[in-house]
Structure 1
Amino acid sequence: MAHVPVGPAASAQHIPIPETPRSILRWPRTPGTPATPFSTFHSPMLNSPRPGDEPVGEGPVREYDFVEQEGGLERATSGASDIARALNPIDAAPAAAPFSLGFFDPSLKQARITYAKIVLLGGFLCSLVVYCILSIYWGALWKVPDHKLDGWLIDFDGSFLGQEVIGAFANDTGKSAKVKWHIIDPASVGYDPAWVAHQIVEEEAWLAVVVQAGASANLTSAVQNRDASYDSTNAVSVYVAEARQENAIRIIVHPYFQDFLDKLSVDYARRFANNLASTNEDTVADLLATAPQVVTKPLGWQFVNLVPFDIPVVTAIDFVGLIYTIVLCFFIVLIGAGARLMSGIEAKLTTAALVKMRLASLFIGYFFISLFYSLLSRAFEAEFDRKFGSSGFVIFWCLNFCGMLALGLAMESMYTILTHRFMPYFLFLWIITNVSVSYMPIQVLPHIYRYGYAWPLYNIGRAVRTIIFGTKNQLGLNFGVLIAWMTVSIITLPLFQWFMRRGAIKQAQAEALAAAQQQEHDETATAVATPNAEKKTSLPDVKTSHSAEASPSLVGEKSAAEEARTSGAADSGTSSR
């Protein structure tokens, strides 16, 4: 390899110069200017000396490697790059070593500004998340219950105890009331408590207060016969189905009835004892001695839990586990995005092929993930055979598969538009909007939360309760909502992908056009710089660093000049003689 020093804008084309081992050409600086790498060139575009400048053996040296080629030597580096470095000397400065600068280093000014902008924008978006998204969940629990639950009052007794109980509940219409009561004619239900219980299981009402037939007659008989076996809790029954929504029963219904009926029982016992004492004091004394409960608690009640929430692990399946399901689906979305990025396959596939690949990956992935998720619940002894027998587990698996597709396809579709930069904000919104309508019944929430009837998590939870506990069967509706979400996502995913692909194509075309224009500019600059570089190499008065390495053409010109001077001196001597 030979070394020929030329200006920074030397051409990348073949330069026919002699194959000498090494030549160094020097151009002087303008007097009074500091020595900088580019101070010898007064025209940075042409990279040639001004007229009248003489090459001397001083000044900065620019040496470049040339590769031997047929017919001459070729520069190993592009002349266009040299022009760029000449026009922007800052780029030529050496970069700082990694991990060597402090945060307030002057060279990091622009980096600090960019960092601060990103952090401040992220903090602002997080503040919006707090007030715009978290407030959704706070609002769901702010005034529980914001609306009353529906309840039935049925008097199968038809006497003074029935009138006392029904009247007390019917008159409880204040702000503290948790239930909106509907008085049901016992004849319309055939005087059948079993029918009432069935209707509660089928969710015709949240609860029913039933005054059992013969309640007043049993109390009267106990007073007359001094019956020590009298049990007042058989007088009133409260039918509930806890598995329908255990939080509503435990937080709203049970505490309300506990307080209301306890007060009613104490108040009625006081009035009943006063009536007995006013009639016959001996009767009260005898009752206190033989059957005190007749006097102290003539009116009692009992909770009849028709569908108990008696499998604690279902809490993980039905509520907390559903949150984990959303996160798990998000992991699958990220795994697919990372696979497309690392493999580079996304940029090579057509839009149709890319959409098919993404959908197929999700369907296959969620098929197996939903199976493992279902087996996990089975391993912790969740019972799936109460309602549908041995088919219960298969139905549960299908539910998890459709649920993951409904949740995951929505995130996959939105990831196409939001990309990894803003997808976490959608994930947060997706979790909060689903969880807000799952912790308490939608009936007791503000009306704005009625959207929950169409949300995936609510319908998954409803279906889980049907499969495991045997609550009202609405699996057709629940699966229909999930399939609707899947359909919407399958439609929007290709549309979003087409939109983003169109933008990517436009960007690629713009970059290609810019690259072509830059290449054309570089070629133009190279063409301008080449004649000047060749002109420098052919100047006759250029001094070389080593006379032994002088160009043969220059040596030839020097020899011819010396011969002319010698011949002229000889002729002048002859003429003088």
Structure 2
Amino acid sequence: MTLPLRLSYAVVEDPSSYLTPIVEPVHLWNSSNKDIVTLRKSFFKQWFFASIELWLLIFLIVTIYLGSGQNPSRYTGNLDVTIVNYDGDIAGNYFLNAFRQSAPGNQTLNWHYKDSSDYNNNVDETKYDVEHGKSWAVVVLRQNTTRLINETVFTLINTSRTLTSPFTIVSPIVVFYADGRNSFTVNNYVLPPIRSAIAIASAQYGQMLRSTLLQNLSSSSDSSSNRSVQLLNTFQIGSLLVDPLSAQYQNLHPNAPFVGQLATTLGYIYIYLISAMVVGGAIKFLSQYVPKVHWIDVIVFRVFNGFFQAFIISLIYSLIVLWLFGIHSGSLFMRYWMFNWLSSMVFGIIIVLFTTNLGPFGNSILTIFIMLMLAGSTLQLALELSHPFYRYGYGLPLYHIINGGRHLLFNSYSNFGLNVGVLLAYFFSMWLIASVTSVFWIKRQQKKAAQQVQQAKTEKKEQKITTVVRR
């Protein structure tokens, strides 16, 4: 008699409920265990290549950044300065010759000699070149300088009376400049050669005047009393004879107060660092929600968070700068705030683009890119004083951020429309690329997370599955 087959079930105990044996950590350095030897090789290999990457990164950073300031005196010939001679006489000849014969090196700039007719014979119109960035400075010798000085000298020679007051005259030379454009460059590389050339011209012209005066005094003094009067009068106009071509310096757009210098240099570096913190915090915060939330929601939040955080950061920064700067203009505040908002968003989108697309190497490449921007940003030196390689700075966003900020605070020259246009172009192009690539990486991350969840479920199900035993 054959019995029918019956199926019965035996519940197998879950292996995960077993106690895991405690494994004592072993030393990495002297263990002969095969697994530890493999781990040791992997450890040293990763450490070595990471160190090489770090050393190369430091080498590039130091070379790029410090190279921008190597021997700027060698490139002073790139700084444009306009020379205008309104006098057209003896003083004008000494004036022009001093600039034409200026010592080579950092005592010679790119002198542009222009005629007074180019400015309708109006000294004030020469400011145009400084105001519109055509020249770093304009040096003007006023009209009738030779005639006025000669009249004074001849009055001294021909008079038989003691002059009752010292000789006074408007400074024959006027220098227009604006150190708000770049204070370090103007005060260290533009004005010193100008002062040197003016001092040489004044010394040579003064020597000629003194020689002429002595000759005329000797021939015109017919008595001891007349000679005494002439000597006394000579002391009265002593400043004219020593420094006949004195200069008046007019700073059209001063780089003051000092808080403005900080705001347009280190201030924007701080905004970049804060933007990096915001981006890093947002990515870390969203990472826990990416597997659970639709990718559209993630992108929308990233965009909203970027705009909103940049909006608040730029508001706080602009309020503090203008408060310390002492500016109470509502229109200027709005322009400065909106410009800083745009600058902050550009920094943020640059960080997002590098960190989300380039993986482990993203931070290294981003650091190199930031160093390239700093080296070509005119934080201190104008790009004309750097090697021609650094002219790339004209096309990078930090150059336009710093010079646009200086324009707003100091009203110094900057093609502000171009500054804003370049920043907008950077923002929208990078935002478009970052949006498309972010969708790709988020979907990929979500797909990977889904696979991991499914694999975990499968493993769990396999551990709890019952075994069918045929009895």
Tell me the TM-score normalised to structure 1 length. Answer: 0.68
Q: For the Cα contact (< 8 Å) 1:232–1:298, is it kept in 2?
A: no
The equivalent position to 1:129 in structure 2, one of 43, 54, 57, is 57
The equivalent position to 1:307 in structure 2, one of 247, 253, 258, is 253
1:324 and 2:270 equivalent?
Answer: yes
Partner residue of 2:200?
Answer: 263
Residue 368 (structure 1) shift = 1.1
Change (3 A) 1:119 1:230: farther
Residue 477 (structure 1) shift = 2.0
Q: Which letter maps to 2:314?
A: S
Residue 482 (structure 1) shift = 1.5
Mapping of residues 85-484 of structure 1, within 5 Å: 94-96=22-24, 104=29, 106=31, 109-145=37-73, 146=75, 147-172=77-102, 174-226=104-156, 229-231=166-168, 234-281=171-218, 285=231, 288-341=234-287, 344-380=288-324, 382-384=325-327, 389-419=329-359, 421-436=360-375, 437-439=377-379, 440-472=381-413, 474-484=415-425
Partner residue of 1:28?
Answer: none
Structure (1 or 2) with the greater helix fraction:
2
Structure 2 distance, partners of 1:325, 1:191, is 47
The secondary structure found in structure 1 opposite 2:87 is coil
Change (3 A) 1:390 1:515: closer
Mapping of residues 517-556 of structure 1, within 5 Å: none
The secondary structure found in structure 1 opposite 2:110 is strand
Residue 152 (structure 1) shift = 1.0
Structure 2 distance, partners of 1:463, 1:299, is 37
Q: For the Cα contact (< 8 Å) 1:374–1:396, is it kept in 2?
A: yes
Partner residue of 2:224?
Answer: none
Change (3 A) 1:514 1:75: closer
The secondary structure found in structure 2 opposite 1:219 is helix
Partner residue of 1:496?
Answer: 437
Partner residue of 1:5?
Answer: none
Residue 287 (structure 1) shift = 5.2
Q: Deviations over 1:239-290 (max 9, x none)?
A: 1111111111111012222333333333333343234334444688555433
The secondary structure found in structure 1 opposite 2:121 is coil
Change (3 A) 1:429 1:384: farther
Q: Deviations over 1:173-221 (max 9, x none)?
A: 7333442111111112111111112432222211111001121122112
Structure 1 distance, partners of 2:108, 2:299, is 51
Structure 2 distance, partners of 1:252, 1:74, is 89
Q: For the Cα contact (< 8 Å) 2:98–2:198, is it kept in 1?
A: no
Structure 2 distance, partners of 1:368, 1:295, is 62
Structure 2 distance, partners of 1:332, 1:292, is 66
Unaligned runs of 5+ in 1: 1-15, 17-69, 86-90, 536-577
Structure 1 distance, partners of 2:363, 2:254, is 38
Change (3 A) 1:326 1:315: same
Partner residue of 1:54?
Answer: none
Q: For the Cα contact (< 8 Å) 1:232–1:300, is it kept in 2?
A: no
Q: Which letter maps to 1:357?
A: F
Q: For the Cα contact (< 8 Å) 1:178–1:253, is it kept in 2?
A: no
Change (3 A) 1:215 1:498: same
Structure 2 distance, partners of 1:374, 1:462, is 16
Task: Kindly name which structure, 1 or 2, has the bigger radius of gyration based on alpha carbons.
Answer: 1
Residue 73 (structure 1) shift = 5.5
**Higher deviation after alignment, 350-359 or 171-180:** 171-180
Structure 2 distance, partners of 1:521, 1:335, is 38
Q: Deviations over 1:305-337 (max 9, x none)?
A: 111112110122100111111111100111101
Q: For the Cα contact (< 8 Å) 1:210–1:236, is it kept in 2?
A: yes
Q: For the Cα contact (< 8 Å) 1:239–1:306, is it kept in 2?
A: yes
Instruction: With a CA cutoff of 8 Å and minimum separation of 6, indicate the structure with the bigger relative contact order.
Output: 2
**Higher deviation after alignment, 421-430 or 207-216:** 421-430
Residue 410 (structure 1) shift = 1.3
Structure 2 distance, partners of 1:288, 1:111, is 93
Residue 433 (structure 1) shift = 2.1
Structure 1 distance, partners of 2:20, 2:256, is 75
Structure 2 distance, partners of 1:463, 1:337, is 30
Partner residue of 2:426?
Answer: 485
Q: For the Cα contact (< 8 Å) 1:206–1:241, is it kept in 2?
A: yes
What is the Cα-based RMSD across aligned positions, in Å?
3.6
Unaligned runs of 5+ in 2: 1-5, 157-162, 222-226
The secondary structure found in structure 1 opposite 2:175 is strand
Q: Which letter maps to 1:412?
A: V
Tell me the TM-score normalised to structure 2 length. Answer: 0.82
Change (3 A) 1:364 1:210: same
Structure 1 distance, partners of 2:85, 2:196, is 21
Structure 2 distance, partners of 1:232, 1:117, is 79
